[in-house]
Amino acid sequence: MDAFVFETLPGRVVFGPNTLDQLPQEIEKLGAKRALVLSTPQRQGLAQDIANRLGDRCAGIFAGAVMHVPVEVAHAAREEAERLGADCVVAAGGGSTIGLGKAIALHSSLPILAIPTTYAGSEMTPIYGLTENGLKKTGRDQRVLPKTVIYDPNLTLDLPPGISVTSGFNAIAHAVEALYSNQPNPITAMMAEDGIRALASGMPRVARNPRGLEGRSECLYGAWLCGSVLGTSGMALHHKLCHVLGGSWNLPHAETHTVVLPHVVAFNYAAAPRAMKRIERAMGTTNAASGIFDLMTQLNAPLSLREIGMNHDDLDRAASLVMEQPYYNPRPATREDIVRLLDDAFLGWRPA
Ligand code: NAD
């Protein structure tokens, strides 16, 4: 067995249907008396429900979260937290809402209680992202890691089928890159493989029956595992490409992860054989890249950058941005490699 280092991240996870009922006790455990509840504008109803459950432990609601955490929104949310004298942030929603909670915690060290409603996995990571002047910057800081996470699959029953699928592939992408990270260890590999298995099995169930609690629970469990391994491993080429495309062209996050993933897996295939074997075992396929693509097709996911709003003329500039500060990747990539990979993703071909 190879030598390894494994570090667990602190954090309490409460998982299962109706666990939102435990919110008052969980807030009490954190010692919080004035929680600021965050949501996107579309999910104000959920924020209000949470505020009602918190009663006089709720200081207010900020329902202004948007994708990729623009610095202006982060400033506004921080000011609101200060104005209200908040001593805790309850972030209820997907990665955008939890990302906004992280932007507040980064400056104030307020504890975050996260209630994820997508499969993005941000709640399990100390990674934050902020977008300024069209550039998304990410960093790691223990202050932004949520102290408590409540995973209640009931809250995902209304996640639209299209978002459920792309969010699931976003989660799978975390596990894929954890499997070929430059800090491999057997625990992370086990969690990543089981995360992919749970999502590859749960997503078709959710597609058949979006309000089925079993399929939803399986996907949310997979999302937890995939988020956890993202939190403890490094990211590679796939995440770099998606950060550039999302931050600089404002492409939708989960859709971008979905479209790009099979092409990065095909590119890295020969350089990461052990990772590929685990992905194949988890998905019950003989080729990780085409297996991912085929599941995307089966679930009616977007297949090309073209259909999610990318302009072909911009691929060259995207490749340059990727090369400016490249991430580790098991197979070193030249600028030409990246242009070719982006072109494949633009056209949405099935990787061989
Ligand atoms: P999102 O949070 O923007 O949510 C997408 C849409 O779905 C929003 O309109 C939201 O209101 C809606 N929605 C969310 N949950 C719903 C539900 N249960 N029912 C109905 N509608 C619901 O999207 P996302 O993909 O979850 O997150 C993307 C963001 O998260 C990106 O900015 C990305 O960079 C970030 N992210 C960060 C990390 C990290 O570790 N820092 C990890 C993954 C993603």
Determine the Cα–Cα distance for residues 346 and 340; give it in Å rounded to an integer: 10
* Predicted ipTM of the assembly: 0.99
CATH number corresponding to 161-347: 1.20.1090.10
Say how far apart CA 264 and CA 173 lie, in whole Å.
10
> Closest ligand 1 atom, CA of 129?
41
The residue written with tokens 């991912």 in the block is: 292
Q: Tell me if the pTM is above 0.90.
A: yes
Q: Is the CB of 100 under 6 A from ligand 1?
A: no
Select the CATH number that applies to the domain covering 12-156 from these four: 3.20.20.10, 3.40.50.1970, 3.30.1950.10, 3.40.50.720. Answer: 3.40.50.1970
Q: What is the CA radius of gyration of the chain?
A: 19
How many angstroms does the Cα of residue 122 sit away from the middle of ligand 1?
9
Tell how far the Cα of 270 is from the centroid of ligand 1, in angstroms: 32
94 lines ligand 1 (CB under 6 A): yes
Outline which parts of the chain fall under CATH 1.20.1090.10. Answer: 161-347
Tell whether ligand 1 has an atom less than 6 A from the beta carbon of residue 311: no
CB 93 within 8 A of CB 49: no
CA of 67 to the centre of ligand 1 (A): 7
Instruction: Give yes or no for residue 247 CB within 6 A of ligand 1.
Output: no
Note the pLDDT of residue 136.
78
pLDDT at res. 234: 84
Q: Kindly give the distance from the C-alpha atom of residue 180 to the centroid of ligand 1, in angstroms, as a whole number.
A: 25
What DSSP line would sit under 157-198, residue for residue? Answer: TTS-HHHHHHHHHHHHHHHHHHHT-SS--HHHHHHHHHHHHH
Q: Chunked in runs of 10, what are the mean pLDDT values of the chain (352 residues)? A: 91 98 98 98 98 98 95 98 98 98 98 98 97 86 98 98 98 98 95 98 98 98 98 94 92 97 98 98 98 98 98 97 94 98 98 88
Span from the CA of 318 to the centroid of ligand 1 (angstroms): 23
Specify the domain boundaries for CATH 3.40.50.1970 within the chain: 12-156
CA of 226 to the centre of ligand 1 (A): 15
What six digits make up the tokens of 325? 């500060």
C-beta of 147 in contact with ligand 1 (< 6 A): no
Q: Which of 62, 69, 143, 163 to mutate to test the pocket of ligand 1 (most atoms within 8 A of CB)?
A: 163
93 CA distance to ligand 1 centroid (A)?
7
Of ligand 1's atoms, which has the minimum distance to the CA of residue 42?
11
